[in-house]
Structure 1
Amino acid sequence: MARANDEAAALIQELADLLSITGGDAFKIRAYEKAARAVAGHPEDIAGMDLAALKRIPTVGEAIAKKLLDYTETGTIRQVEALRAEIPASVRTLTGVPGLGPKKALQLYRELGIASVDELAAALDEGRLHGVKGFGPKSEENIRHGIEVLRQKGDRVLVGTAAELAERVVEALAPLAERIAHAGSLRRMRETIGDVDVLAASDDPRPLMEAFTALPFVTEVVAGGDKKTSVRTFRGPDIDLRVVPPDSWGAALQYFTGSQAHNVRTREIAVRAGLKLSEYGLFTASGERLASATEEEVYGRLGLPWIPPTLREDTGEIEAALKGALPDVVTVEDITGDLHSHTDLTDGRASLEEMVEAAAARGLTYYAITDHAPDLAMHRMTDAKMLAQRERVRELQKDYPGLVLLHGTELNIGPDGSVDWDADFLAGFDVCVASIHSHFAQDPADTTRRLITACENPHVNVIGHPTARQIGRRAQVQADWDEVFRAAARTGTAMEVNCFPDRLDLPADLIRRALRLGVKFAVDTDAHSVEDMRNIRFGVGTAQRGWLTPDDVITTWPLPRLRDFLAKKTT
């Protein structure tokens, strides 16, 4: 059975989606989206809460609290039911196509009767969108690309969703296992995950399997057994639990972490040495087991150092390992600062004081508050508001002697590469992040010039979420990335690795290209709430997949070195 918080949050998010289709008020829609995230992340169960208790959930006002009360009393939200009756489910499916949007999806349904992604693809091929108001050649091209993005995602979920589910499984089953961990593509920190793989070690698998199938979020047992059980979950990925003997743990963890291509390469090394490698261990031709207890032992008997899971994609890690040239990849423990975060002054869900306290609790040595600038009008930023926040940051600094507070901003990169505020005002910030928030379908040449212009701005220190993608929802902007990266290296502008699970931007493939061209990187949470700070692990995982070391990441540097890097932009 699903947790009440999850079901209620899904209904509130659905309400926001439905209102966006019908042209509802943008500020109200954003309020619903914030509330949905807050309810899903709230530690207490909302079942049984009264109106007053519901209103104490951050970002939940009285109107939304009444809707939550409606859910806890009836199992649904009546406004959602009414809008469902008004808007066909097929139209809601179409809104998932990146580049289409809710209003255009409704327009296509009403004017052309298009009610599915397949029908939309067919209509494009048949030229039925020609002449429809608002759908020119560029729109059609963007929609085609959006369909491709959606189909590539398929039934996969974001790494954050998969990680949360895997952690709940591991926590619930840990008392019954000698060892337990997630494996597969989640351990390799892939951007999206198909099935979640959990591996446990025990001589008695039956209690583990029984407890696994009885977990509250399990909706169906697909297959059961003593070695492997597969289940389906409520609004989440399928989960496979494998149980192996404790003395096979290391070999099994290596095998079930993958990737398949990486495992093929390690098995080839074993075969050339006259050995056999499986999930049970590394064996001689006569069946003698040489290694199995730990991954380090297995790799060592193959003549390799231990290879971090995030590198196991057969993209050069075997060759580097054989040469002793594997990177000492950055870890969460290496991160000493955060240069991108938001408060409730703009679109954050926590106060400045709460965010600073959380940053101190993380053990950071420096922390930047970077609320949005005035070009994003919906955030209603003014010079006076920003200056008042700066003064409050300076006051708070007295209470945190072990944490250096930096006052910054996230600027908007306009279509021509310009940013909010003039040079004199920008000079007052400790750090400036600049990001693309609009005009995502711009011509690649124009986008290239746009990003290079931002890099050349002496006050821009970091390009935030550089490709502007949202995984499964919006494709990355198109640009000559090598030219952008050369400009970033030349001007001393860091490229961000944004930690949000639906961004992970720069992606790993572009990180490696930028790294070869001399770019430095900032692994930032872009946190909009205290809970978002936990996303640091996903950004670090992406940085590892891009082969970054601590020296490549400015948010691992001590403050004096960071200040030198930032100062070089203004000299």
Structure 2
Amino acid sequence: MVRPNEEVEALLQEYADLVLITGGDAFKARAYEKAARAVGGYHADVSRLDAKGLQEIPNVGRSIAEKVTEYLRTGRMPAVEDVRSKIPPGVRELMGIPTLGPKKAMLLYQDLHISSVPQLLDAIHQERLRDLKGFGPKTEENILHGIALMQAAGDRVPLNVAMEVAEDIVAELSAITGCERCTYAGSLRRMRETIGDVDILVAARGSGPFMAAFTRLPGTAEVIARGEKKTSIRTAKGLQVDLRVVPPDSWGAGLQYFTGSRPHNIRTREMAVHHKLKLSEYGLFHAKSGRKVVSRTEEEVYARLGLPWIPPTLREDRGEVAAGLRGELPELIQEADIRGDLHTHTDLTDGLAPLEEMVEAAARRGLRYYAITDHAPNLSMQRMTDEKVLAQRERVRELDGKHRKMRLLHGTELNIDADGSVDWPPEFLAGFDLCVASVHSHFNQGRDALTRRLVTACEHPEVNIIGHPTTRIIGKRPALDMDLDAVFAACARTGTALEINSHPDRLDLCDDHILRAKRYGVKFAVNTDAHAPLHLANLRYGVGTAQRGWLTAEDVINTWPLDRLRRFLRKDALARA
């Protein structure tokens, strides 16, 4: 159920990490890292490619292609297994701790013989790490935070991983004779950023064929439980999937019951009791007589409780019921509302595809405008120069208007340096259509310094959007420790939008921060940060996160017509009014 591309990507990335840990060639490690990203973002299924076809993927040379071919044929990559054997299993466990890093994990093993998380926690509490070079109280604090992140993630998987599994299963079960309705529910339908298990709901008059087919699905590693109404499996990647079959006339009640968070469902059941009713997955019933009132659609269930239909992404008991009773539920942004993408990359810097391919892919998605925002020169490993970016601008202008009336914007992703400054001087930046500014380094600055850094970037006259504002990577890197309210206020004051980065590993800003920022009157941009054509499809996850933050299309600048967007990008006070 997981794309072979992702399996190969993970293996090549692991090899790159292991090469660095064992003191191998840094350039070799970098080559495998680039190849990993290229394979993960490639549009075609790598399992269908031979060695020659693999070499057509950017950054995949003959040696890497041969290793991938062997893995796809045998399920083994000896080069990776060989390097794994040189590293104690405990060190690999420590490597999984966000904020620690592979080199420090190896140092802990070599100098203190630490090979497990419990041993590391004991050493921190005994202050034994402070004698090691590069370790101190701040490092200990960061490691403890990283362990907390890892433990909080537990067996949860990223939203996109769960979505791919769920959509494959829904497609399989929907094709079975007798299936009247089939969809996913639970936290996945609510678009939570990580998913503990996947809930699948089927409406049918008999459950037998569905339960049997479910247990035989490709990728099933274990049947946890099998019954007439519910069956649970575990996939080969460890994700639990639960299937429930309800009668067709109970579809709406079942979908409502199995979608809402526990607090939301408690709230709706309390409302049912107030109306002398009882709510379950089979319907809304009279409490005394037991007679069914409604059950066929979610809309009917909510209406009988005195509520409008509540979008799944709002069902977290964060005020949605009260807003529904007042008639104040927002008309949430939809993916179809997005007119353009304002943060994307090409192979001029760290993207995986040339400009022309990215533009063509954007046109196929029906976008009305599309921005190319490759990295600026202060991110030195990307080797950007004035000459390169100006040559790209000329090519963008040549392509503008040639793809189904989609307009092209030439921008850049600037680096917010430690003092809040950005790469190019204002007079050079004035030549871009828009500037995204992001933090890519110095993550461990103090709270006050980080706050000043972001506020200074917002105040720059040419900075339009703050990219992935907290820099978090879900389960791997914590959000920056800064005064977010001060940053939100600065964005509202200066007319600087905050990005909702749609990459499933980021989803940054998160829903809680979006809710807070909206109160200041901040505007947002839902962008993909795409580094390959395939990544443009991640927009759905950013829109889902925006919905969880109660945003409407009006709140998001890339739903606006291009003329209005251009006025906003000039930081025109009237355009923001």
Same fold (TM over 0.5): yes
Provide the rounded CA distance (Å) in 1 between the counterparts of 2:205 and 2:28. Answer: 55
Deviation larger for 346-355 or 259-268: 346-355
CA contact (8 A) 1:157 1:236 kept: no
CA contact (8 A) 2:331 2:552 kept: yes
Matched, 1:425 2:453: no
Q: What SS does the corresponding residue of 2:373 show, helix, strand or coil?
A: strand
Provide the rounded CA distance (Å) in 2 between the counterparts of 1:8 and 1:289. Answer: 52
Matched, 1:179 2:200: no
Provide the rounded CA distance (Å) in 1 between the counterparts of 2:425 and 2:469. Answer: 22
Provide the rounded CA distance (Å) in 2 between the counterparts of 1:40 and 1:249. Answer: 37
2:203 matched residue in structure 1: 201
Deviations 1:376-428 (A, max 9, x none): 11111111111111111011114225111000000010111011111111111
Cα separation, partners in 2 of 1:388 and 1:474, compared to 1, 3 Å: same
2:9 matched residue in structure 1: 9
- Deviation for aligned residue 1:66: 1.2
CA contact (8 A) 1:251 1:293 kept: yes
Cα separation, partners in 2 of 1:140 and 1:558, compared to 1, 3 Å: same
Provide the rounded CA distance (Å) in 1 between the counterparts of 2:497 and 2:306. Answer: 37
Cα separation, partners in 2 of 1:221 and 1:263, compared to 1, 3 Å: same
1:20 matched residue in structure 2: 20
Deviations 1:36-79 (A, max 9, x none): 35445656554574321222344422221011122134421111
Matched, 1:414 2:440: no
Provide the rounded CA distance (Å) in 2 between the counterparts of 1:524 and 1:548. Answer: 14
1:268 matched residue in structure 2: 270
Q: What SS does the corresponding residue of 1:450 show, helix, strand or coil?
A: helix
CA contact (8 A) 2:495 2:573 kept: no
Deviation larger for 371-380 or 20-29: 20-29
Provide the rounded CA distance (Å) in 1 between the counterparts of 2:20 and 2:409. Answer: 36
CA contact (8 A) 2:43 2:533 kept: no
Amino acid at match of 1:256: F
Provide the rounded CA distance (Å) in 2 between the counterparts of 1:240 and 1:152. Answer: 22
Provide the rounded CA distance (Å) in 2 between the counterparts of 1:25 and 1:551. Answer: 50
CA contact (8 A) 1:372 1:411 kept: yes
Provide the rounded CA distance (Å) in 2 between the counterparts of 1:57 and 1:202. Answer: 44
Amino acid at match of 2:326: K
Deviation larger for 545-554 or 234-243: 234-243
Amino acid at match of 2:152: Q
2:329 matched residue in structure 1: 326
Deviation larger for 453-462 or 151-160: 151-160
Q: What SS does the corresponding residue of 2:417 show, helix, strand or coil?
A: coil
Cα separation, partners in 2 of 1:549 and 1:6, compared to 1, 3 Å: closer
Deviations 1:509-556 (A, max 9, x none): 111111001100000011111111111111011111111111110011
Report % sequence identity. Answer: 63
Amino acid at match of 1:243: V
Which residue of the other structure, out of 442, 456, 459, is the alignment partner of 2:445? 442
Which residue of the other structure, out of 275, 293, 315, is the alignment partner of 1:290? 293
Q: What SS does the corresponding residue of 1:414 show, helix, strand or coil?
A: coil
Q: What SS does the corresponding residue of 1:130 show, helix, strand or coil?
A: helix
- Deviation for aligned residue 1:138: 1.3
Provide the rounded CA distance (Å) in 2 between the counterparts of 1:328 and 1:48. Answer: 43
1:107-256, aligned counterparts within 5 Å?
A: 107-176=107-176, 177-256=179-258
Cα separation, partners in 2 of 1:345 and 1:91, compared to 1, 3 Å: same
Deviation larger for 480-489 or 61-70: 61-70
Provide the rounded CA distance (Å) in 1 between the counterparts of 2:489 and 2:317. Answer: 27
1:60 matched residue in structure 2: 60
Q: What SS does the corresponding residue of 2:175 show, helix, strand or coil?
A: helix
Q: What SS does the corresponding residue of 2:463 show, helix, strand or coil?
A: coil
Cα separation, partners in 2 of 1:161 and 1:339, compared to 1, 3 Å: same
Q: What SS does the corresponding residue of 1:12 show, helix, strand or coil?
A: helix
TM-score normalized by the length of structure 2: 0.96
TM-score normalized by the length of structure 1: 0.97
Matched, 1:507 2:516: no
Matched, 1:387 2:390: yes
Cα separation, partners in 2 of 1:316 and 1:48, compared to 1, 3 Å: closer
Provide the rounded CA distance (Å) in 2 between the counterparts of 1:419 and 1:462. Answer: 13
Cα separation, partners in 2 of 1:130 and 1:255, compared to 1, 3 Å: same
Cα separation, partners in 2 of 1:116 and 1:461, compared to 1, 3 Å: same
TM-align CA RMSD: 1.8
Q: What SS does the corresponding residue of 2:32 show, helix, strand or coil?
A: helix
CA contact (8 A) 1:189 1:310 kept: yes
Matched, 1:451 2:487: no
1:102 matched residue in structure 2: 102
1:325-364, aligned counterparts within 5 Å?
A: 325-364=328-367
Amino acid at match of 2:492: A
Provide the rounded CA distance (Å) in 2 between the counterparts of 1:236 and 1:529. Answer: 28
2:563 matched residue in structure 1: 560
CA contact (8 A) 2:344 2:531 kept: yes
Deviations 1:152-186 (A, max 9, x none): 11111111111111111111211122111111001
Matched, 1:529 2:539: no
Provide the rounded CA distance (Å) in 2 between the counterparts of 1:345 and 1:314. Answer: 45
| Structure 2 residues not aligned, in runs of 5+ | none
Provide the rounded CA distance (Å) in 2 between the counterparts of 1:309 and 1:104. Answer: 43
CA contact (8 A) 1:161 1:236 kept: no
1:402 matched residue in structure 2: 405
Amino acid at match of 2:67: K
- Deviation for aligned residue 1:291: 1.1
Amino acid at match of 2:219: F
Cα separation, partners in 2 of 1:34 and 1:182, compared to 1, 3 Å: farther
CA contact (8 A) 1:495 1:520 kept: yes
CA contact (8 A) 2:2 2:161 kept: no
- Deviation for aligned residue 1:216: 1.4
Cα separation, partners in 2 of 1:391 and 1:24, compared to 1, 3 Å: farther
Amino acid at match of 1:61: G
CA contact (8 A) 2:464 2:571 kept: no
